[in-house]
Structure 1
Amino acid sequence: MPEIKKYKITEPYLDLQCGLGEAPFWEKDRNTLRFVDIVKKKLHFVDIKKGPSSHKQWDLDFNIGTTADIEGNDKEFVFGGKSGYGIMNRETKESRWIKKMWTNEERKPDGGGKPGKGETREVRMRSNDGSVDTKGRYYVGAMNDPAIVDELTDEGVLFRLDPNGSIHRSKDSITIPNGMSWTLDNKYMYFTDSPSGSIMKYPYDVETGAITWDKGEIFFTCPIEGGVPDGHAQDEEGYFWIALFGTGKVVRVNPQGEVVAEIECPTRCVTCPGFCGTELFITSATEEDPEKYAWSTKYQGGLFKIDVGVRGCPLNKFKNESKA
């Protein structure tokens, strides 16, 4: 096994007390970090050069789970929101839905479906993590909304929005969709259903967006008891930085799935890392068991930062060829 390099973060970059901080995204052209708080329905921005004092937040009417930039459009960004895909203006805060995820049938009362809660499937679901492939397709995973559903079920779906505006269901029967990325040669896709404890690797057809689900292999399994892989980011060397929710750790994993570095954070529920140059920003959530882990509550929901000396992989942009 390779030697494990150790990092330690002792305090947050921003002490925000997010309910569920997620989706750190580097707006490279602006040198700004964009991230969300799904539970509190907020969108956050911070100018990397100016630092924490530049922090701004927007209050939203609905939750957003994931965002991505749009090719050729620096004023707007695309997002996976409560009930579908939308576009938001970076300067005016105005937003519009461009493709709803759920069918007319799924917008009808269904007795609560599998969890027995939520009048319709659309009502009891929300977007979670997402990522754009090299052809500009935007994958977004939807899951039961914990604000409505007491116990999560496998009603989740991985959706794909193509540049032409068409929407596709790539995979059903998902519980908590997280951590999506591709090998540097785009021959494989990595995908995480967090409760499984593992990140899976699947053959990927970059020309069609087809994923060969029946030929998946385990790439990485969380080695810490009680932890699960949440979001992840890739660096330019093809290594992964994976947030292990419930452990307070973000690990760097080589292409063989071995841990080679470990970042210790001062709160347990770390959710997702994201690169801004060589700096790794890490979002987190409210501590789920504050009585047992009182130490974790002080900086719960904070945003953390550490320079790891390697740059992140460039993020793909959504191609909005339909001009929605």
Structure 2
Amino acid sequence: MSEKWQVGAPYLDMQCGLGEGPYYEPATDTLRFVDIKKKQLHTVSVADGPASLKTLQFEEAVTVTADVDGRDPSRTILIGAKQGLALLDLATGKYDYLTKFPEEKPERIRSNDGGVDPMGRFWMGTMTDFGLGPFQPEGSLYHFSGAGTVARSLSGLTIPNSVGWSPDGRTMYFTHSSARTIFAWDFNVEDGSLSNERVFYRHDGPGEPDGFRVDVDGNLWHAVYGESRVLKIAPNGSLVGEVTLPTRNVTCCEFVGEDLFITTASDEEGEGESKRLGGGLFKVNVGTRGTERFKFKLH
């Protein structure tokens, strides 16, 4: 690997249980991210820095967020909650479900990661919720069109993770963490159909690939849970760089300009610095930018 970056102290030393889903909102110049285990949504002003951190507390897990086309993101955003897709009122902290997962045993599952495709559909995975024993292959990958339509694209998943698209929108990537595999498909932008399934990258190591973001050159910046690093994976699937962090459980990342913000989870079984800094939010300049974030279309 030719490119290497090293991150030291966290940007926010905050001990998330499971920090995830970082999302930069250009209109408000804020970064938001969730703590799935503590059922919280955090926002921080990029201009004002760590002292501007604000937190919303929920009764059930919020796992991922997105902006909504035609809505002011300082007031309303889209969230993945335990039972499906919902609109969150940031002023009150209340949310209303748009569509719920069509699961046979909804109490057993929760949402996980996801993202909006170039046509404004939201793709999101489900998995076994915490406290219900070992994770089972009962998860799915769904896509949501507008306020009421949901369709299942994949089933039998254990830990479905990030979904993303190449800069031209014609390739969709999806990480199945428990299989240590990133899949790729040819993506039909018009109808959201997938074809030509293939393995883009299979991870060989003790950790599991977790969340990723795609940069403007088509590289995937992929967090690896359990290995203290983010991998830079070229469009041909080869490893070309890595960011190393001082804590093991690295979960996801997001571009803010040429800075990469990186979420992590607690490291209760670790020692020393990894345990002390687990759950922090980290920041490093990597000299490139992420692809455009698409907004969810309600109609």
- Given residue 217 of structure 1, which amino acid in structure 2 is its aligned partner? R
What is the deviation of 1:187? Answer: 2.1
What percentage of aligned pairs have identical amino acids?
39
Aligned AA for 1:169? R
2:77 aligned partner: 77
CA-based RMSD: 1.3
Q: Which has the larger radius of gyration?
A: 1
Secondary structure (helix, strand or coil) at the match of 1:216 reads: strand
Aligned match of 2:200? 219
Structure 2 stretches of 5 or more lacking a match?
Answer: none
Per-residue CA deviations over 1:50-79 (Å, capped at 9, x if unaligned) read: 100101111111101111000110121111
2:117 matches 1:141: no
In the other structure, the counterpart of 1:246 is 226
Equivalent-residue separation in structure 2 for 1:222 and 1:276 (angstroms): 27
The offset of 1:288, in angstroms, is 5.4
Amino acid at match of 1:220: Y
Q: Which moved more, 1:166-175 or 1:30-39?
A: 166-175
Kept in 1, the 8 Å contact 2:166–2:214? The answer is no
Pairing 1:1-324 to 2, within 5 Å after superposition: 3-74=1-72, 75-102=75-102, 106=104, 121-145=105-129, 147-163=130-146, 165-212=148-195, 215-223=196-204, 225-287=205-267, 289-290=269-270, 293-321=271-299
Q: What is the number of equivalent residue pairs in this alignment?
A: 297
Counterpart of 1:142 in structure 2: which amino acid? Answer: T
Alpha-carbon offset, residue 180 of structure 1: 0.8
Structure 1 residue ranges (4+ consecutive) displaced by more than 6 angstroms after TM superposition: none
Q: Is the 8 A contact 1:83 1:102 kept in 2?
A: no
Letter of the structure 2 residue corresponding to residue 14 of structure 1: L
The Cα of 1:9 is off from its aligned counterpart by 0.8
Amino acid at match of 1:60: F
Give the TM-score normalised by the residue count of structure 1. Answer: 0.89
- Secondary structure at the aligned position of 2:274 is classed as helix
Q: Give the TM-score, by structure 2 length.
A: 0.96
CA distance in 1, matches of 2:132, 2:2: 39
Residues 71-119 of structure 1 show CA distances to partners (whole Å, capped at 9, x for unaligned) of 110121111110111000133322111111135xx2xxxxxxxxxxxxx
Q: Please state how far the C-alpha of 1:123 moved relative to its aligned partner.
A: 1.2
Give yes or no for contact 1:278–1:308 (8 Å, CA) kept in 2.
Answer: yes
Aligned mates of 1:134, 1:282 — CA distance in 2: 24
Q: Secondary structure at the match of 2:110?
A: strand
Aligned counterparts of 1:90 and 1:42: Cα–Cα separation in 2: 12
Work out the CA distance in 2 between the residues paired with 1:73 and 1:186. Answer: 24
Amino acid at match of 1:88: L
Residue type at the aligned position of 1:264: T
Deviations 1:258-306 (A, max 9, x none): 222211111000000011111111001111533xx44410100110011
CA contact (8 A) 1:249 1:263 kept: yes
| Letter aligned with residue 51 of structure 2 | S
Report the alpha carbon displacement of residue 203 of structure 1 after superposing the two structures with TM. 2.0
Query: How far apart are residue 164 of structure 1 and its match?
Result: 5.4
CA contact (8 A) 1:124 1:148 kept: no
Offset at 1:249? 0.3
Between the aligned partners of 2:230 and 2:124, the Cα distance in structure 1 is 22
Output the amino acid matched with 1:232: F
